[in-house]
Amino acid sequence: MFDSYLENTLEYHSDKCINCGRCTQVCPHGVFAEGEEHAELIQPVSCMECGACALNCPVHAIEVQSGVGCAWAMMNAALRGKDMDSGECGCGGEGGSCCGGNSE
């Protein structure tokens, strides 16, 4: 109840994982942890969809639709008749994207 952040677009294919541990190094919220045979997805709810893990995974075992979770940018884009996901964060100046960016 009153939690819109329980679901996100993070998808992890553990069968592809080569256990390099990169995702555990780059995730700013400890979503992945080191495991015996492959990385473990321990806190999927904490994912902020920054895209750092997917961008840095050498075998594309992680998929996420990354973007900035900024209501202002999304509503602004919607009001201008653009796609909500195309909204750029107006606060950060140039592009204003974070770890993974949404254009890659």
Binding interface with another protein (CB under 8 A): 1-9, 22, 25-30, 46-49, 65-75, 84-85, 89, 91
Strand partners, 41: 32
Nearer to another protein, 14 or 46 (CB): 46
What's the closest the beta carbon of residue 75 comes to another protein, in angstroms? Answer: 6
What's the closest the beta carbon of residue 17 comes to another protein, in angstroms? Answer: 17
